[in-house]
Structure 1
Amino acid sequence: MSKLTTAPRDVFRTFMNFPLVEDLDALKADVAIIGMPYGDPYTFDELINDQTNAPTAVRRASQCISLGLDRYDFDIGGTLFDGQDIKVVDAGDIPGSVADHRGHYGLAEAAIRKIRTTGAMPITIGGDHGIPIPIFRALDGEGPITLVQVDAHLDWRDNVNGVREGYSSPIRRASEMAHIGKIFQLGIRGQGSARVEEVEAARAYGSNIITANEWQDIGTAALLERIPDRGRYYLTIDADGLDPAVMPAVEGPSPGGVSYRQTIELIKGLIAKGKLVGMDIVEIAPSRDVNEITAITAGNIILNVIGAAVRAGYFKR
């Protein structure tokens, strides 16, 4: 394979000051943080939208989370690495090109394949919700994958303006991939983007649609019981799946969303049940943020994924 190199938006500020590794062919890590700023736009104006700034914003805000990795984290129950020899790197961003605005999807897929080939867990910062599509493709040798989505919206559109791989279609595209098995769509609420046809198509597939209200009623423990044990899971988090009080910086805020506590309980539960092969957090619009709370929350979610995986023995040699 030819050399894979990413392009960091801000070489002086990696996520949590983790080492920067742009050459993925030289990657030696347990976890790789990678930015995917660009989706597949529905209009020319969306070619560069506010979400393209999110990887840089989350990296920058991570400096506000902690003064050092030796600090005690009460979400995790200790220091991040729990005294273990764990290596986390920041792999920079997948570059885009004005001359080939879809070409970055191929680069994104290749990057995730390379990261998974080394055995590392990819944690991706978007970008809009189109960016998981090349990630899903890159997992085609690792099925069956149980896909878990936290989102206000169903994301089962077939196309918008003829575009089939944009931010309203990732779960429908996933459902067409042979290595994607069960799908759990959590936190769905409001009118959102779903039309009747899309709801019917999702139900015909067998998608497990659990609304925000139902999750609140049954609790996270009961929700986790519905997800098969000892599976291989991929987690995609749309920032608008969380309540706007927790993550206000989104384009489509919807009241009554998932709480931070529910999100962390879900992450810990999935990691304890089986193998989380990767996750992403998308749809953050930094210009709408309040005191960087959305970006800081995203950073804390990422740290919880890493901390829970460490404690589950994911990276023991």
Structure 2
Amino acid sequence: TTGIVEAYRQANPGESFTVVQVDAHGDLRHEYEGSIHNHACVMRRIVDMGLPTVQVGIRSICKEEADLIKEKQLPVFRAREIVVQPDWIDRAVASIKTEKVFLTIDLDGIDPTLIPGVGTPEPGGLNWYSLLSFIQRIFANHQVIGCDVMELAPITDSVVSEFTAAKLVYKLIGYQAIAQRWA
């Protein structure tokens, strides 16, 4: 995600866009296991670039990440809040203040009963239709300049994770085609 976002920034200097992340984890650590270029640091690098972010489905953060969220007043929609707040999609989409959006979906942001084959699973997460409703609203209200789907870790003798991830990518392409808002 970081490389794609940085490449887009370099190709389009001065252009404003928001990185919307669906994930179980904040990925806001300064460094993890001795590296600043680690899966647990991706959104920190995005924040360090000065780009606005919106995080959805978060259910695992450390103190360092919680402190950064508070300090920078980052919009975060935690999974436990999503479950009990039916207006979360309205609020999450309203928190996107730019026309253009880069959407990054870490598959562990989805409930692991739907996609168990991920690198760092967490209980809970978005259900299929909540995720699709959220994504559909983003495509309807913003120009999606790019997206990625991350962290598929296939399980031997099961294709459910791969199939569901492929179906998600199919939906993303379809929503972009319907929106007709090509970057």
Does TM, normalized by the shorter one, top 0.5? yes
Flag structure 2 segments of 5+ consecutive residues without an equivalent.
Answer: none
Amino-acid identity (%): 28
Of 130, 148, 157, the match for 1:262 = 130
After superposing on structure 2, the runs of 4+ consecutive aligned residues of structure 1 that deviate more than 4 Å are: none
Q: Note the 1:47-126 alignment, pairs <5 A.
A: none
Matching residue of 2:2: 133
Distance 1:196 1:276, change over 3 A: same
CA distance in 1, matches of 2:157, 2:128: 16
Q: Do the aligned residues in 1 keep the contact of 2:30 with 2:41 (CA within 8 Å)? A: yes
Q: Does 1:298 align with 2:165?
A: yes
Cα RMSD for the two superposed structures: 1.8
Q: CA deviation at 1:157?
A: 0.9
> How many aligned residue pairs are there?
178
Q: CA deviation at 1:271?
A: 0.6
More helix by share: 2
C-alpha deviations, 1:231-288, integer Å up to 9, x for none? 11111111111011111001222111111111111111001011001111111111x2
CA distance in 2, matches of 1:231, 1:217: 28
Matching residue of 1:19: none
Distance 1:151 1:228, change over 3 A: closer
Of 188, 197, 208, the match for 2:58 = 188
Q: Do the aligned residues in 2 keep the contact of 1:267 with 1:304 (CA within 8 Å)? A: no
Q: Does 1:160 align with 2:32?
A: yes
Q: CA deviation at 1:202?
A: 2.3
Query: Aligned with 1:197: secondary structure?
Result: helix
Q: CA deviation at 1:313?
A: 1.8
Q: CA deviation at 1:165?
A: 0.9
Greater C-alpha radius of gyration: 1
Q: Do the aligned residues in 1 keep the contact of 2:17 with 2:101 (CA within 8 Å)? A: yes
Matching residue of 1:201: 68
Q: Does 1:233 align with 2:101?
A: yes
Q: Do the aligned residues in 2 keep the contact of 1:230 with 1:273 (CA within 8 Å)? A: no
Of 236, 242, 251, the match for 2:119 = 251
